[in-house]
Amino acid sequence: MPIWRLTWFTVACAGGATLLVLPIGVLIAWALARGSFRGRTILEAVVTLPLVMPPVATGLILLMLMSRRGPIGRVLERVGIDVVFTWKAVVLAMAVMGLPLLVRTARAGFEHVDRRYEQMASTLGAAPLRAFLTVSLPLALPSVIAGAVLAFARALGEFGATIVVAGSIPGATRTLAVAIYTYAETGRDWEAVTLIAISAAIAFAALLCSNALAGKRLA
Amino acid sequence: MIDLAIALIQGSFSLDFTATLGDGVSALFGPSGAGKTTVLDAIAGLRLPALGRIAVADRVLFDSSTGINVAPYLRRIGYVPQDIALFPHMNVRRNLLYGRHPGTSPDLDRVLRMLEIETLLDRGVRDLSGGERQRIALGRALMSGPSLLLLDEPLAAVDLPLRRRILPYLARIRDDLGIPILYVSHDRDEVQQFADYVVRLEAGRVVGKDRKDSKDLKI
């Protein structure tokens, strides 16, 4: 598999994972920053879990849930969707591993927005959804984007969960991180080093972007 | 007619406020820490009283005995807080039009002329002077077509010459638009010059009420 295809596949999956996780992550970040509801601390812990658990363990949990006998996989199979050991599993693993980083960064952004702006929006007749979309989200946007870039960078390097739930099928599920491991294992050191350089360059660019945005807050 | 009975406890501070105000300009007068802003927040629906009843022009906004609590965005209460809180990510025009409500909002040109802010429309809110910000915040609240206007120390943050310039604008709002105004201040001269009714608040309790037509305001 040519290097450019491997790179493109990985970047596309990481991009897809980021888009998938963005609406959910923003919603959770908002709820954690502003909401007072039962189970708030539990939600916070569950979202943070992939950050502190061994990625292989997260991968195994995903495998159990998504396999044909698993509770979610069984339902999806009925509508003809197969996830495990396909590119969809790659995206899923990347999304789950990126979620905590997005939520933590976006949450800090929402907490930084002065509540007074949201209150003013409400006195001016804006229903909660409109106040969120026109005031809170734009004011927290640099942090939301920074969190998304961070999740993207994390997704690019995802290894442990991916290899368990998606495997390492050349041309189908093999990502840069998995390919680096495979090349290193089989003594193809130069190819491994090339891929390391590519991974580092993409991640470095993404992180620079994230830091620049996090520093640029509107409120 | 504005009918207010607000009781709430917040830490060691307790507020017990009862007043019936006419349709002109009412001043809530008292030292800082007396609970003046808390009263405004409760009327706007930004703070929930433990007990009481809030009715503006015969419309009940809150009544603890019947469980009525109208959401802030449905109350139609214009609010200019002490910190002004113009939306920093919008220019003057978008701030002014944020709360525009077809049918109830006054004509934009009329508000622009009245507050002499025609030339500021395309400016960013960060570039405005203190007096300009004050007038934009007044305009923004007016453009939402409120049935009551709450002003929290509108002149506290501005110096004396500017104070003299802004006071006539407040008088114009009172005279031209006929919107009742509840106005918080700790400045005796300002209150005597501008208010028709005065409620004096100290440490969360009403300690005096007066009307302008009883010759001199005894405050």
Per-residue pLDDT averaged across A118-138, rounded?
Answer: 96
Rounded to whole angstroms, how far apart are CA atoms A29 and A15?
Answer: 20
Q: What is the pLDDT of residues A161-177, one digit of tens each?
A: 999 999 999 989 999 99
Residues 6+ apart with CB under 8 A from A189: A183
Residue B68: domain span: 2-210
Decide if B217 is inside a domain: no
Percent of chain B at pLDDT > 90 equals 53
pLDDT band for B217, please (50, 70, 90 cuts). Answer: low
Rounded to whole angstroms, how far apart are CA atoms B98 and B73?
Answer: 12
Decide if B218 is inside a domain: no
Q: Residue B33: its pLDDT value, please?
A: 87
ipTM of the complex: 0.90
Closest residue of chain A to B104, computed from CA coordinates: A125
Q: Residue B190: its pLDDT value, please?
A: 79
Q: Residue B140: its pLDDT value, please?
A: 96
Q: How many domains does chain B have?
A: 1
pLDDT band for A218, please (50, 70, 90 cuts). Answer: very low
Decide if B215 is inside a domain: no
Pairing of strands B77-80, B148-152: parallel
Q: Which CATH number goes with the domain that contains B40?
A: 3.40.50.300
Question: How is chain A split into domains, by residue range?
Answer: 3-215
Per-residue pLDDT averaged across A21-42, rounded?
Answer: 93
Q: Residue B102: its pLDDT value, please?
A: 84
Architecture of domain A3-215: Orthogonal Bundle (1.10)
Rounded to whole angstroms, how far apart are CA atoms A159 and B95?
Answer: 47
Tell me what the pLDDT averaged over chain A comes to: 93
Of A80-94, A154-168, B113-127, B177-191, the range with the lowest mean pLDDT is: B177-191
User: Buried (b) or exposed (e) across A46-80, using 16+ Cβ within 10 A?
Assistant: ebeebbebebeebbbbbbebbbeebeebeebbeee
Per-residue pLDDT averaged across B57-86, rounded?
Answer: 94
Of A1-10, A95-104, B72-81, B149-158, the range with the lowest mean pLDDT is: B149-158
pTM to 2 decimals?
Answer: 0.87
Q: What is the pLDDT of residues B129-185, one digit of tens each?
A: 888 898 999 999 999 999 999 999 877 766 777 777 777 888 888 888 888 999 898
DSSP assignment, residue A139?
H
Which among A119, A124, A128 is the nearest to B46, CB-wise? A119
For chain B, give the secondary structure using H, E and C: CEEEEEEEEECCEEEEEEEEECCCEEEEECCCCCCHHHHHHHHHCCCCCCEEEEEECCEEEEECCCCEECCHHHCCEEEECCCCCCCCCCEHHHHHHCCCCCCCCCCHHHHHHHHCCHHHCCCEHHHCCHHHHHHHHHHHHHHCCCCEEEEECCCCCCCHHHHHHHHHHHHHHHHHHCCCEEEEECCHHHHHHHCCEEEEEECCEEEEEEECCCCCCCC
Which among B77, B81, B98 is the nearest to A116, CB-wise? B81
Decide if B135 is inside a domain: yes
| Chain A interface test: which of B47, B56, B61, B73 (most A C-beta within 10 Å) | B73
Decide if B139 is inside a domain: yes
Per-residue pLDDT averaged across B104-113, rounded?
Answer: 89
Of A12-26, A141-155, B205-219, the range with the lowest mean pLDDT is: B205-219
User: Which residues from chain B sit within 8 angstroms of residue A117, using beta carbons?
Assistant: 85, 87-88
Pairing of strands B148-152, B181-185: parallel
Q: Residue A207: its pLDDT value, please?
A: 84
- Residues belonging to chain B with any Cβ–Cβ distance to chain A shorter than 8 Å: 44-46, 71-79, 81, 83, 85, 87-89, 98-99, 101, 140-141, 144
| Chain A interface test: which of B46, B91, B126 (most A C-beta within 10 Å) | B46
Tell me what the pLDDT averaged over chain B comes to: 88
| Chain A interface test: which of B61, B98, B105, B126 (most A C-beta within 10 Å) | B98
Is B46's CB within 8 Å of A122's CB? yes
